[in-house]
Amino acid sequence: MATEAATGIVPTRRPPPWHNPRIRGVVWQILFLGIVVALFAFLVHNTLVNLRRQNIASGFGFLDREAAFGIGESLIAYSPADTYARAFLVGLLNTLYVSALGIVLATVLGTVMGIARLSSNWLIRKLAQIYVETFRNIPLLLQLFFWWAMLRISAPAPRQAWEPLPGVLVSNRGFVYPVPIADPAHHWMLLALALGIIGAIAVSRWAKRRQARTGTRFPSGWVGAGLIVGMPLLVFLAAGVPLKLDWPELKGFNFVGGSAVSPEFAALLIGLTIYTGSFVAEIVRAGILAVSWGQSEAASALGLRPGQCMRLIVLPQALRVIVPPMTSEYLSLTKNSSLAVAIGYPDLVSIANTTMNQTGQAVEGIAMIMAVYLAISLLISLFMNLYNRAVALVER
């Protein structure tokens, strides 16, 4: 005891490990993780046992079997003799196609409508408001049915098809138009197009640098457009104008030749675009309103026209606020495209449904649909987050 008082060291017993909050936390987490894994394993095991008890086939082997059903429209060649895996691929491509087009069109329409809602013109403002309020509040499925019925009912039968331009035929089978027959010169034209795009980008960068250095402006927009259109055109003329068109004509029941846009695809695209566009309009409006009014005042004090102010000052700052909710809208549009099954467009869900029904393997089919939509959604999120980081303004 004298030694303790002299040196000042008080020997203490080490506290038991469960008094340490970090160790406690780790133990609880391991326990919880174990429970989650056990739960998951139990669900999977239960499913497999029940499937086996009722002798329902399971496993992904069915993907190699012959599909034996036809698909109405597809971007790649498909026949009923192909496998289920190829049918899935056709459905996936259809979904991606309509989603990609829908995203582009909805963004354009939504942006225009969003800016229109802030216009100083009373009529434009009111029309935009009516558009947004109407199409935001009606369920998408009803809108799809409406557009599909309109396109079906208003167009005539193939034998009485309208012909607004020679070779372009509109009937209730869709919109049929002539396409050029493939020719070797077209590869050169594509190459020229690629070169034209690169040239346009290079010109615009050079023009920006020159403007930053000397202040003189260069019509890089017009020059770029000229390059993109002109270079393929030059190749086209040099190759002797190889334009043989595949004209559609009515043979028997349907149009043979040319390319067609079916009423189902058109209805789905129009419905998705208008519906999602109304949400995008509100997001864009919110983004623009989020930019402080002082910015627009300063811009007009500097002599910028309202259009230039919107394009150069307001929208770049508004993008910070617009891009995150836009991601949600794009994901929403992609998932909403699965409503195609109700109007007869062969997208992924529709084909997976048919497959599940013919093979009886509902669990695998649903798992595949979920995995595909999850992958698409994660990809869209990834791209949008990268873009978000690129346009994010660095604050002081």
Q: Interface with another protein by CB under 8 A: which residues?
A: 35, 39, 42, 46, 50-51, 53-57, 68-72, 79-81, 145, 149, 152-153, 157, 172-173, 251-254, 256, 263-264, 341-344, 346, 350, 353-354, 356-362
Q: What's the closest the beta carbon of residue 20 comes to another protein, in angstroms? A: 16
Cα(44)–Cα(47) distance, integer angstroms: 5
Instruction: Give the residue with the Cβ less far from another protein, 157 or 394.
Output: 157
Q: Are 219 and 270 in contact (CB under 8 A)?
A: no
What are the distances in angstroms from CA 378 to CA 38, 120, 331, 374? 27, 39, 9, 6
CA angle 79, 156, 70 (to 5 degrees): 10
Instruction: Give the residue with the Cβ less far from another protein, 111 or 171.
Output: 171
Q: Are 86 and 390 in contact (CB under 8 A)?
A: no
Instruction: Give the residue with the Cβ less far from another protein, 264 or 282.
Output: 264
Cα(52)–Cα(43) distance, integer angstroms: 14
Q: What's the closest the beta carbon of residue 31 comes to another protein, in angstroms? A: 9
Q: What's the closest the beta carbon of residue 327 comes to another protein, in angstroms? A: 31
Instruction: Give the residue with the Cβ less far from another protein, 43 or 382.
Output: 43
Q: What's the closest the beta carbon of residue 68 comes to another protein, in angstroms? A: 5
Secondary structure of residue 62 in the 3-state scheme = helix
H/E element, 164: strand 162-165
Q: Roughly how many angstroms between the first and final C-alpha of the chain, as a whole number?
A: 62
Q: Are 251 and 83 in contact (CB under 8 A)?
A: no
Q: What's the closest the beta carbon of residue 117 comes to another protein, in angstroms? A: 35
Q: What's the closest the beta carbon of residue 114 comes to another protein, in angstroms? A: 34
Q: Which residues contact 383 (CB under 8 A, 6 or more apart)?
A: none
- Max distance between CA atoms of the chain, in angstroms, equals 116
Instruction: Give the residue with the Cβ less far from another protein, 113 or 356.
Output: 356
Instruction: Give the residue with the Cβ less far from another protein, 179 or 238.
Output: 179
